[in-house]
Structure 1
Amino acid sequence: MSAMLAIATVELRRFLRDKSNIFFVFIFPLLLILLLGSQFGAGSGQARVAIAGPGSALAQALTAKLQSSGVVVTASGENAARADLSRGRTDVGLFLDESDGAAFDAGQPAELDVVMASQSSAQAVLQQVRTAVQAVGLERSQLAALTGAGIPEDRARPALVQAAAQVAVPTVDIVDTNDVAQEFRGLGKFDLGASQQLLLFVFLSSLTGAATLIQARRFGVVGRVMSAPVSSGQVVAGQALGRFAIAFVQGGFIMAGTALLFGVDWGNLWLSALVLVLFCAVAAAAAMMVGSVIDNDTAAAGVGVGGGLVLGGLGGCMVPPEFFPEALAAISYATPHRWAYDAFAAIQRQDGTLGDILPQLGVLAGMAAALLLLGAWLLRWSLSRAL
């Protein structure tokens, strides 16, 4: 056991010496999750409206009405609102001036300048803006009618509020029969991308770490270690333990960072951590298998990146497997990514328990054990031939 820990410690030290790892292992995944979530996240269709212009009763009424219907409203200057529209940060811009506010206060018609962004969701948001404008105009007309009939404004406003509370507003319940839509219902903006990129980068980082085992073989480190009472299995296990520690720290950092920065809901943290542990074990064992077969560390890095991307894409880390054709979906279960993806999906979307994800955990544990045993055998075989 002490030999395994010593080998793992050396692996960690070699990893920490390369300062570029800090960016590619910890910072880059969060940036990619931010980018993907902002553009394609499940919650990216939330309505966003920017109101530009001086503060007025009209702006306040529109803001309250839009926010009551679930629209995110921001108040900004004209230039900032136009910049947000051009960059897709907001769906609709409402541009008000002093004459609009004065006309509203006087009970006169106001002409509002409305600009819609180019994204497809803007059309639906524009309809929400129209509804809000009509509702505000109706309330203003009702108030004007009451005050015109001789009722003081301080009595007319509470009367309108009381009347609105007593009216039963009809509601529409929409039942979505689309299985895929129901599968992703309730997911946060970054939830799906966070789990996908977690699996992708943990596996990629581990496979590229296979180069350290090749270098250890090339420089004769493995041979000298095995001249002591240390088996090839202990060498692979020590190397894998080091890669496992790096992968688990990376995965834990991504989980914590996305939860704190982006509000990602990982469900039951203990179960999510258990899935991460077993997936990291598979990734570390796979890296050791690659490091035992390939003799060139540069080639191993290329194989690690290429193989990691292919397996990640096939396992649902780029496109959700719910969109896969039936044949491709069946093939995806040959990858550890798909089993881990399904486990995270059960925990995040369905509040799954340990019993619900036991099949996925069992497959991941079996993959890790098989790859580690295969890596040990391949390492012994590789030492019998020259590099």
Structure 2
Amino acid sequence: MSSILAVAGVEVRRFLRDRSNIFFVFIFPLVLILLLGSQFGAGSGQAHVSVAGGTGSELERKVAGQLEADGLRVTYGSPETVRAELSRGRTDVGVFISDAAAAAFDDGQQADLEVVMSAQSGAQAALQSVRTSVQAVDTEQRQLAALQDAGVSRDEAAAALDQARTTVQRPHLEIVDTSNVTQEFRGLGQFDLGAAQQLLLFVFLSSLTGAATLIQARRLGVISRMMASPVTSWEAIAGQALGRFGIAVVQGAYIMVGTALLFGVDWGNLLLAGLILAFFAAVAAAAAMVIGSVFDNDAVSSGVGVGLGLVLAGLGGSMVPPEFFSETLQTVSRATPHRWAYDAFAVVQRHDGGLADIVPQLVVLAAMAAVLLALGAFLLQRSLNRAL
């Protein structure tokens, strides 16, 4: 066992000695998850409204308070700043309150607001929410005006409306989207989906591209010298596989911990998520053994590894969620380990599933790992007798 661990340690050190691997294994995945989550994350659907002008006025307080009460994210800035944010897509809707509008509101007169929508895809829905909030403020002012016209003082009218809001139960409307896709992603955090997808993409991709170190070890005679020492062939092969498995698990665990701490990603049951990662890493390590044993040129193996890794990731749902696939592509995607690991993560993350719920996915991943490992060991044994 010590011989296997020693061989695995050598492979890990050889992999980390290449500084470019450190960037693509530990830095780039988190950057990509941040970018994808910021643009397409589930949580990014909260409308963002920027309010400009009317600072300290009653109109600003009423409008901003109603917007926040209706679940919109409200920020404040100067008119120039808000217009710049709109042009850059950093806010969905800008509400501009002029001094004349604030004064008219204080006098009980009609106050005109300038509302500008950005070109963002979700800006139209945000605009409708803003209109609803502003109409609620307008309705309250009309109620106050009607009571005042009936001879009630403004303070008494405001107190009566406050009492009515607390004693009268408003009708509640709940809109339920019956779309299966919408229900599937319901409750996901902004970075949750992208984190799981990118974890599978990079763990597999890094493993395949790291197969170049196996070719270099064969070319430089590292494996031959191992075989000349008191190390059996199966120990050398097991050490090679364990080294690649260790690299994949460390990268996956790093992504899981990093996204949880930096982006608040909810991985569900951490033990089950770690188990899924371990099974998927075993498949990735075995696939790297096959790539590293078939090819004799490390540059070619890296190119094949990148191409194969991206294709499998795309088919397996690591780029576009498989819920959007056609039925035919759904069937094809199940030939990839990414799809089975994606489904397992979905069960744990979105549905609070237990071990029994992910057993089918784990069995398939284990079978894939066993077949690829056996093939990789056979090919590596043959490659040791082949001149490079």
> TM-score, with normalisation over the residues of structure 1?
0.95
User: Could you tell me which residue of structure 2 aligns to residue 127 of structure 1?
Assistant: 128
Q: How many angstroms does 1:16 deviate by?
A: 2.7
User: Could you tell me which residue of structure 2 aligns to residue 38 of structure 1?
Assistant: 38
Q: How many angstroms does 1:38 deviate by?
A: 1.9
User: Helix, strand or coil for the counterpart of 2:115?
Assistant: strand
User: Helix, strand or coil for the counterpart of 2:44?
Assistant: coil
User: Could you tell me which residue of structure 2 aligns to residue 295 of structure 1?
Assistant: 296
Distance 1:231 1:35, change over 3 A: same
* 1:341 counterpart = 2:337: no
Q: How many angstroms does 1:310 deviate by?
A: 0.5
Q: 2:178, 2:135 → 1: CA distance?
A: 32
Distance 1:259 1:114, change over 3 A: same
Q: Is the 8 A contact 1:63 1:73 kept in 2?
A: yes
Q: Is the 8 A contact 2:15 2:213 kept in 1?
A: no
User: Could you tell me which residue of structure 2 aligns to residue 354 of structure 1?
Assistant: 355
Q: Cα deviations across residues 18-48 of structure 1 (Å, max 9, x unaligned)?
A: 2222321122111111221222222322211
Q: Is the 8 A contact 2:211 2:301 kept in 1?
A: yes
User: Helix, strand or coil for the counterpart of 1:230?
Assistant: coil
Q: Is the 8 A contact 2:8 2:243 kept in 1?
A: yes
User: Helix, strand or coil for the counterpart of 1:44?
Assistant: helix
Q: How many angstroms does 1:98 deviate by?
A: 2.4
User: Could you tell me which residue of structure 1 aligns to residue 203 of structure 2?
Assistant: 202
* 1:8 counterpart = 2:4: no
Q: 2:285, 2:345 → 1: CA distance?
A: 20
| Structure 2 unpaired stretches of 5+ | none
Q: 1:71, 1:173 → 2: CA distance?
A: 17
* 1:141 counterpart = 2:138: no
User: Could you tell me which residue of structure 2 aligns to residue 87 of structure 1?
Assistant: 88
Give the length in aligned residue pairs.
Answer: 387
Q: Cα deviations across residues 184-219 of structure 1 (Å, max 9, x unaligned)?
A: 122122211110011001111111110011000001
Q: Is the 8 A contact 1:236 1:288 kept in 2?
A: no
* 1:51 counterpart = 2:51: yes
Q: How many angstroms does 1:264 deviate by?
A: 1.6
Q: 2:263, 2:107 → 1: CA distance?
A: 44
Distance 1:363 1:122, change over 3 A: same
User: Could you tell me which residue of structure 2 aligns to residue 160 of structure 1?
Assistant: 161
Q: How many angstroms does 1:337 deviate by?
A: 0.5
Q: 1:171, 1:149 → 2: CA distance?
A: 30
**1:247-286 → structure 2 map (5 Å cutoff):** 247-286=248-287
User: Helix, strand or coil for the counterpart of 2:45?
Assistant: coil
User: Helix, strand or coil for the counterpart of 2:267?
Assistant: coil
Q: Cα deviations across residues 163-204 of structure 1 (Å, max 9, x unaligned)?
A: 123333223333322222221122122211110011001111
| Structure 1 unpaired stretches of 5+ | none
- Note the aligned Cα RMSD (angstroms): 1.7
> TM-score, with normalisation over the residues of structure 2?
0.95
Q: How many angstroms does 1:309 deviate by?
A: 0.2
Q: Which amino acid aligns with 1:12?
A: V
Q: 1:381, 1:85 → 2: CA distance?
A: 62
User: Helix, strand or coil for the counterpart of 1:80?
Assistant: helix
* 1:61 counterpart = 2:79: no
Percent identical residues: 67
Q: How many angstroms does 1:147 deviate by?
A: 4.2
Q: Is the 8 A contact 1:85 1:116 kept in 2?
A: yes
Q: 1:158, 1:255 → 2: CA distance?
A: 52
Q: How many angstroms does 1:148 deviate by?
A: 4.9
Q: 1:113, 1:274 → 2: CA distance?
A: 54
Moved more, 127-136 or 55-64: 55-64
Q: How many angstroms does 1:371 deviate by?
A: 1.6
User: Could you tell me which residue of structure 2 aligns to residue 104 of structure 1?
Assistant: 105
User: Could you tell me which residue of structure 2 aligns to residue 328 of structure 1?
Assistant: 329
Q: Is the 8 A contact 1:248 1:276 kept in 2?
A: yes
User: Could you tell me which residue of structure 1 aligns to residue 79 of structure 2?
Assistant: 78
Q: 2:384, 2:202 → 1: CA distance?
A: 30
Q: 1:336, 1:111 → 2: CA distance?
A: 58
User: Could you tell me which residue of structure 1 aligns to residue 178 of structure 2?
Assistant: 177
Q: How many angstroms does 1:82 deviate by?
A: 1.8
